[in-house]
Amino acid sequence: MALIGLIVLGFAVYAIFSMVSSYIESKRNFENKFEHQQKTLREYIKRSAENEERSEDIFNTGEDLLRQSKLKEAIECFKKVIELKSDVFQAYLILGNIYERLSQYKEAIEIYSKLINRPSGAGVKFYSQESLPSVKKAFFQLGVNYLLTGKRDLAIQQCEILKEIDSVLADKLNDRIIEIDY
């Protein structure tokens, strides 16, 4: 009987040892994963801060190039700003304006559409108060560019959207549509 007791005790010790080992290993894995996630988060925050600084520098360079009428070089700067930090709304508007100045209306349409669809494409009411002025201007400019490319029906759609968020801009766009009709 004593031998059976020792065998049972041995299995119990082995089971406890296995459970403790599994627990320690699980804890180590959790700690390693946690440390990795913390490191990844720190790297992301550092890259975000670096991108913020870089995007500001590149934005300023783009503005300088624009003042010097170096439009093609300015385009590259504003594209890079948008690539680094997609919430710099002014970069979209300036880039769209440059394309308009170069009579590249399809490119302007593309950039204004990117600004408008940037948050989630869920509709006008989901834009922040901070971004709404830029979005309104983008809807207006998008409508103008649709007119310039002969897409009157799409310009009218932009006008209808603008009526919901800015009646003054909607009226201005509607006036342009009417001008084209006559």
Q: What is the 3-state secondary structure (H, E, C) of 4-52?
A: HHHHHHHHHHHHHHHHHHHHHHHHHHHHHHHHHHHHHHHHHHHHHHHHH
Q: Is residue 56 part of a domain?
A: no
pLDDT class for 22, splitting at 50, 70, 90? Answer: confident
Position 176 scores a pLDDT of 92
Q: Is residue 180 part of a domain?
A: yes
157 contact partners, CB below 8 Å, separation of at least 6? none
Domain region containing 95: 88-182
Q: Is residue 51 part of a domain?
A: no
Question: Is pLDDT above 60 for 120?
Answer: no
Q: Is residue 71 part of a domain?
A: no
Q: Is residue 117 part of a domain?
A: yes
Could you tell me the two tokens for 48? Answer: 């975000």
Q: What is the mean pLDDT of the chain?
A: 85
- For residue 143, the Cα-to-chain-centroid distance in whole angstroms is 22
- Domain tally for the chain? 1
- Residue 109 CA to residue 144 CA, distance in Å, equals 9
89-101 vs 132-148: helix crossing angle, rounded to 10: 20
Position 119 scores a pLDDT of 57
pLDDT class for 131, splitting at 50, 70, 90? Answer: confident
Residue 43 or 17, more confident: 17
Q: Is residue 123 part of a domain?
A: yes
The enclosing domain of 109 has a CATH number of 1.25.40.10
What pTM was computed for the model? 0.69
- Residue 182 CA to residue 179 CA, distance in Å, equals 5
